[in-house]
Structure 1
């Protein structure tokens, strides 16, 4: 069994990824990139972490503020890395803490992907 390794997705790549699903069929490359995002969000812990960051005051969250999701700290770090690798989060180290942010363009792109073409 061969595992396909996809490059890390930067927030800009996610934002520019794909047209609304109702606009036209996705190309193979667009489908691969989109699947990486949805696969990353397909885990309940990752979805909770993504939601915690996205809804946190100021649009960013310290890992210390969002790690109470019922798993160990190393597991939280693993899940945050998966979200970051999928291009859904960016991070910045400040002293001993890492702060995570969901880029507004990423949320907009994901919303647009699931919006009917031509609707507001």
Structure 2
């Protein structure tokens, strides 16, 4: 039985997973709601420990990491748990409990949506 939790930054009624919360930056200005949702995601990544944890999970073999494999980032275990919780709340990570350990994965649809949002149009396109 899986305890996977995802708190996405995607539109709740988006027709397809991976639909960005916001349009590409060059398409139109964000609404206040879109800006707030997007800021939460970037705020989560704006902390150096969180960014490092996110990078550790993303680069871990197999695309997922046990908390026991990524907790050595120079802060206490409760602080690691707090930062991982913030990354989950921002929709950047998913988690699954297996026995006594929690395994984390990067939420690929959200990262893809971030990339689409930050993409600028090509010149001449």
TM over 0.5: yes
Residues 56-84 of structure 1 deviation map (CA, whole Å, 9 limit, x = unaligned): 11111100111111001000000000110
Structure 1: where are the runs of 5+ without partners?
1-8
The within-5 A match list for 1:101-112 is: 101-112=105-116
Q: Is 1:12–1:105's contact at 8 Å kept on the other side of the alignment? A: no
**Which segments of structure 1 move beyond 2 Å, counting only runs of 4 or more?**
9-12, 117-120
Residues 11-51 of structure 1 deviation map (CA, whole Å, 9 limit, x = unaligned): 36274301111111111111000000000111000000011
Structure 2: where are the runs of 5+ without partners?
1-5, 12-17
1:51 corresponds in structure 2 to: 55
1:74 corresponds in structure 2 to: 78
The CA RMSD over aligned residues, in Å, is 1.9
Tell me the matched-pair count.
Answer: 112
Q: Is 1:11–1:90's contact at 8 Å kept on the other side of the alignment? A: no
The within-5 A match list for 1:6-17 is: 10-11=7-8, 13=10, 15=18, 16-17=20-21
User: Given the two structures, how large is their TM-score scaled by the length of structure 2?
Assistant: 0.82
1:19 corresponds in structure 2 to: 23
